[in-house]
Amino acid sequence: MIYRANVRPAWVVLVLLLCFAVAFALAKHSDSAATAKQADNHEVPEKIDMTKFKNSETNEQCLKCHGQSKYTYENAESKKMVNKRMYSELIIKRDEFYVSNHKGFKCTDCHSEEYATFPHSGNLRMESKANCIDCHGGDEKYAKFQFEKIDSNFMASVHSQKHSQDFTCWMCHNPHTYKINARTNDNLQETITYDNLICLSCHSDITKYELLTNKEKPNILVKHEWLPNQASHFTNVRCIECHAQNKDTLIVAHEIVPKNLAVKKCESCHAKNSILYASLFKYQVRENIKAKGWFKGLFLSETSTIGPDQNNTLNIISLALFALTILVILIHAVIRIQKSH
Amino acid sequence: MENHNEPLYLYPVWIRFWHILNALFCLTLIITGLSIQFSNPTIIVKFRAAVAVHNVAGVLLSFNYIVFFIGNLFTKNGGYYVIEVSGYFSRLKAQFHHYTIGVFKKEAAPFPVTMESKFNPLQQFSYVAVMYIVLPLVILSGLGLLYPEITVNSFIGISGLDYTDLLHLFCGFIVSIFMCIHIYFCTFGKTAISNFKSIINGYH
C-alpha cells in the first residue's frame, strides 16, 4: 500500500496554531490565577502581639496618643475630656512599627525624655533628629550594610546637593516603619516595587514634593513616554538603575544623578554587559547560587531581561556554524567553477 | 538541473511579489537582529534604530507571511509543498548525491523542474521546514518579545521570556543559514543568474 500524505503543510500548521492558541490561553489563565492567589495571600493582616516587644509597655505611653488618628486628654481648667485629631505625620502605626527594624527601641531612645510630660514643651520641636549614620556609622556590627559609603554617596547625590540640610535620610526612609528589604526578600519583584515606592512617595505625591521645591510636579508617565513598554519597565526595573551612579558598589545606590545624566540608552541594559547586573540582580544571582547551588541558581531564574541573558557559548557556536556554512558554500562553488572549465 | 525547452510559468505575480518582500524583510531582520544581539559596542546599526526597524520589519514580514499562508492554502502553489512520503528518503538521497557529487560530473538533475513538481526533494524538505515550522515560530516568539506582558511568566522555574528569546534567536539563526544556502543554490540554474531572472519574470 502506498501511503501519500496528501495534506498541505499549511493546513497542518493552521491546526497546530489553533492548538497553540488554546494552550496559550490556558497557560495565561493559570498564570493570572496564580498571581491573584499571591495577591490574596499578601492581604492577610499581621496580628501584632504587643506583649512580646520589650519596650512596648513604655512605648504605649506615647502611642496611646500617637498610635491612632485621635487622642484624648483632660482639659486642666474645665476638667473635661477633650478629643483631638492627631496630625497624620505624627501617627506611628503599631502594626508597622513592630515589624520594622527599629521595633526594639523605646521612643525616648531617639526622642527627648522631656516628651514624657504633656502638653509637650514647644522647644521640643527644635530638637535635632539623629540620622542613620549617627547610630550606624563606624559600628562593625553594621559594616556589611556600608552605611559610610551610603552616606558619602548620598552627600554627592542631587538630593543632598540641591536641598542641603533639608534633605535627610528620613525623606525617603521612615525610621518608624523602615524594614530592610533587598537583602532579606528573595522576591525580586517585591524588592523592586518596595524601592520604587520610596521614590514615588515624593515624585508622584505633590504634597511631599512641594516641601522641597517650588517646581511644578513632573508627570512621571509623560517624562518617561520615550520608554517602550513603559508599564513593564516601571514594574521590573528600579528607578535607581537609571537615575543613580555607583551601582556596582551598593545594592541600593544612593547617588541620585541630575536628570541629564540618567541612563537613556537601551543598550546600557539590554546588552551583554548590562548595568542591571551591577547591583541588585548581581546580588540576587549570588544569593540564588548560595541557596540553590550553581546550576539551579544561575539558570533557574524566574526573572529575565532581553539582552543581557546571553549565553556566550551559544553565541560562539552559532557564529562558528554560520562561518562553517559559508566555508562549505565557498568550497563547493570553487570546485564547481574549476570543474566547469 | 533542468532540460526543458518550453519556458514554464511557475511563479505567478503574487508569489513573486511575496518572495521579493519576504527576501527584503528577512535580510533587514537578520542585519538588525545581529545589531541588537551584539549591541555594545555597536555593530552595523545603532541599537535604538535597529530595534525600531526590526519591530516594523517583523510586523510587515508577519503580514507578508499571512499572504503566503493563505495563498498556499487555496491556490495550486500549495500543492508543491505536499511531500509524498513513500520513497521520499531515497529521493532525498538521490538529490543529496547530485549536489555533492553529480553536479561536479555535470550529471543531469535527478528531479527536473516540471509544472507538476516545482521543487526537488531537498527543496521540499527545506522549504517546508523553514516556511511552515521555523517562520511561524520566529513570528510567534517575536510577538512574545514585542509584547513581553503577553508572554507566560514562568515555566518550570524559568522565565517565559527566556524560552521565547532563545527560540527567537534559534529560529532567526536557522533562517539566516537557510538564506545563505538558498541564494547559493539559486546559482544552479542554466546559467548562474537564470534562476534569479525566473523569480523576477515568472518563467522557468
**pLDDT tens, position by position, A92-123:** 998 889 888 898 899 999 899 899 888 898 88
B34 touches chain A (CB under 8 A): no
**pLDDT tens, position by position, A257-278:** 998 999 888 888 887 777 777 6
A32 phi and psi, to 5 degrees?
-70, -30
Residue A309 in this model has a pLDDT that exceeds 70: no
B31 touches chain A (CB under 8 A): no
Quick one: which H or E segment has residue B67? helix B47-74
The nearest CA of chain B is from the CA of A220 a distance in Å of 21
Quick one: which H or E segment has residue A267? none
* Interface probe, candidates B56, B75, B153, B170, chain A, greatest A C-beta count within 10 A: B153
Decide if B12 is inside a domain.
no
**Amino acid type, A233:** H
Please give the full DSSP string across B127-196, using - where no structure is assigned. HHHIIIIIHHHHHHHHHHHHSGGGS-SEETTEEHHHHHHHHHHHHHHHHHHHHHHHHHHGGGSSSTTHHH
Report the residue from B73, B160, B187 with minimal CB separation from A8. B73
The nearest CA of chain A is from the CA of B5 a distance in Å of 22
Q: Which three cell numbers stand for residue A76?
A: 486642666
Decide if B158 is inside a domain.
yes
The nearest CA of chain B is from the CA of A137 a distance in Å of 39
B13 touches chain A (CB under 8 A): no
Taking residues A286-314, what's their average pLDDT?
65
Cβ-based contacts of A326 with chain B (< 8 Å): 180
How many domains is chain B built from?
Answer: 1
Q: What average pLDDT does chain B have?
A: 89
Q: Is the Cβ pair B69, A13 closer than 8 Å?
A: yes
Q: Give the residues across from B158 on adjacent strands.
A: B155
- The length of chain A in residues reads 341
**pLDDT tens, position by position, A139-178:** 888 888 888 889 989 999 999 888 867 788 888 888 998 8
A-chain residue closest to B68, CA distance: A10
Decide if B7 is inside a domain.
no
Residue A50 in this model has a pLDDT that exceeds 80: no
Please check whether residue A10 is in contact with residue B69, taking contact to mean a CB–CB distance below 8 angstroms. Answer: yes
Residue A231 in this model has a pLDDT that exceeds 70: yes
Residue A1 in this model has a pLDDT that exceeds 50: no
How high is the pLDDT of residue A143? 86
Domain layout of chain A by residue ranges:
47-119, 129-320
Tell me which residue range forms the domain holding B145: 60-201
Helix, strand, or coil (residue B12) = coil
Strands A81-85 and A70-74: antiparallel
Q: Give the residues across from B154 on adjacent strands.
A: B159
Distance CA B47, CA A267 (A): 6
- State the pLDDT confidence band at B57, using cuts at 50, 70 and 90: very high
ipTM, interface predicted TM-score of the complex: 0.88
* Interface probe, candidates A4, A266, A292, chain B, greatest B C-beta count within 10 A: A266
Decide if B6 is inside a domain.
no
Decide if B18 is inside a domain.
no
Q: Which of residues 96-125 of B touch A (CB under 8 A)?
A: 103-106
How high is the pLDDT of residue A296? 59
Q: Is the Cβ pair B181, A272 closer than 8 Å?
A: no
Asked whether the CA dihedral A229, A231, A232, A233 is positive or negative, the reply is positive
- The length of chain B in residues reads 204
Q: Which of residues 47-106 of B touch A (CB under 8 A)?
A: 47-48, 51, 69, 72-73, 78-79, 81-86, 103-106
